[in-house]
Structure 1
Amino acid sequence: MHLETRFDTTGWMRRLGKALATPFDPEDYLALFDARYSAREIRARVHRVRRESDRAVTLELAPNRLWKPHKAGQHVLVGVDMGGVRRQRCFSLSSAPTDPRPMITVKQHGTGGVSDHLVNHCREGDLLTLSPASGDFVMPEPAPERILFLTAGSGVTPVHSIVKSLLASNYGGHLIWAHFERSYDQWLLGEGLRGLALDERLDFRLVLTGDTPRPGDLAGRLDEHWLTEQVPDGASRTLFTCGPQGFLDTVIDWHQRCGRAPLFHERFQSTPVSGGDGGTVRFARSGGDIQAQGTQSLLEAAEAAGLRPQHGCRMGICHTCKCRVTRGRVRDLRSGASLELANQEIRICMHGADGDVELDI
């Protein structure tokens, strides 16, 4: 009888390298030459910082080999070290998948969080972490021949990616894009949008709600009258919309009554439908408890108790804040549904207490 022995040299060398590098991983030494190196996470150098205004920047990123090209309209979770703590926030990618490097466009909020840090302190060469791109606010295949885009504020970013991607392809349809902005100094990606508007396939309209429009631009606010007057065939076009809560509510309400084509929308804020009854939130691992209001998310309750649970987008998109409810009743702040849970995971940024709740935190 013949016995064949196979020796796994690759695995042996890996184990030997790790043993020789103890107490450090070989990855730690490789990172000395390029901090982006990692076998586990997507790291990106800030390749370029382009100021959109005194309160906004576009960051061009150079990620490591783990980055996979995104679909136009998707978002990414960006991590940055602030005061020795890794903090994360979700941003739509403003670049097209065909661009040489992925880009995010960030507006300052004045709350001292990730957005403010990136606008005020991020410099070329800084290191960030990225999640894989995700999200369903993407163009169906094949792309519809007639599309209407309605955006406001930061809602311009994912649609910029979508429109730029369409115009870079052999798309043969017609696009109407109305973007609502309070003033010129708050307008994101203005230079890029003016360039896209030169393409005859795109009818771009900038609508100012709080500033005097320049020649070629419009003034007004979005309502049914504006849509009927400015976009007579809007109800029959496939609709993509993104923006603040009130803006989206207006668009969605109009589409429900008048729309005759599909609607795609992306919210930048969670929309509480109704709060629960509130209750005592207990923290099983950390100890202690706090009395939470029904309209307060469990994430906010934990932060009010002095805890720092992991989180990212704070709107139910990134799933970073998922936590196990040992027992208790919660209410989904977006749908209003009340749920009795036992040893089940939820996103604590979008659920509130609807009675006493115990969290595995």
Structure 2
Amino acid sequence: MTNVTSIQDKHPPPIRSQSRPELGLGNVRPLSIGQVKIGFPVVQAALSGYSDGPMRIVARRLGASYSLAEVLIDRFVLDATNQHHARRHLTITDEEHPVGGQLMGSNPSEFAPAALRLVAAGFDVIDINFGCPVKTAVSGCRGGYHLSQPDVALEIVSRTRDAVPDSIPVTLKMRRGIDDSEESRERFFRILDGAFARGVAAITVHGRTVEQRYVGPSNWDFLREVKQHAGSKTILGSGDLFTAQACLEMLRDTGVDGASVARGAIGNPWIFAQANALAAGRPLPEPNLAEQRRVLEMHAELCLKSSGEKQAHLTMRMFGIKFARLHPQFTELRNAWAVCRNMSAWREVLEQWYPSG
């Protein structure tokens, strides 16, 4: 999970056009997670507060081969009722497959029944979050906190893998450790090796520590070391993937089997098609303002269908701010989105700043 719920754009500067350098990759290897065939190995990560159904559908329509739903607390999944708010988190559409559901929690005994609930909802892969660095998660003994307690982490893995049908892959999301201490490193590899021994199909590794959160560069040298250590086992890399070029450079430079795009996919769902084009030696698709408007309208329509007017406004205001990074008048547009108070105002901003084609 990547937690990025603030509507203020505190992340990378506006996205500009990319050149198409010769990366010397040749054909990238197709990705599989257990029995699930993914295909092109640049996928969308779980994004807390973002990767709901509408975002996943947009990503799939624009070239993502696989996506993960936003992380769900195991207790929430177990307590979920048929109320609309809860139901939408467990709703999968036909066009999303393959899609993964991600769980986070503190009590090992709750992971197995929560995982079975996600299987019943239609998720193709069950992902366990041992990577979230957010203070509320770590202080609640969830997410990245488990990297400090390998025995508990591996108990969670065992309980989940034993409960889930063999046909459903179980995967992990990890960071490279709590911190940069040797003890943290030893715990990381103990969990990594123990998880694979217990039947985990793939592990995504983020190149920052839990203490770093999102500050400083992602350590791709560590990702290379992990892949060399894991050998033929499936490793995906994460961290600092904001362009198609970066995605393919990670695959080339670290040898990982897949690149998991997190914050780089928010407001730029074209990154998946761009990575595919770059790998194939084709020109990068550059979304002009008419194309950006088309996708924003598509996203808004999906949100309205899945969650109604009030939630759609909150979601699309948030996404509008992120999409503004692609606009030549980034700051002015970001500020216009930020003050929208309803969908009517949101549509007015769309009309003002984006041509209709």
TM (norm. structure 1) is 0.29
Larger RCO, structures 1/2 (Cα 8 Å, 6+ apart) = 2
Larger helix proportion, structure 1 or 2?
2
Larger strand proportion, structure 1 or 2?
1
Q: Which structure's CA Rg is the greater one?
A: 1
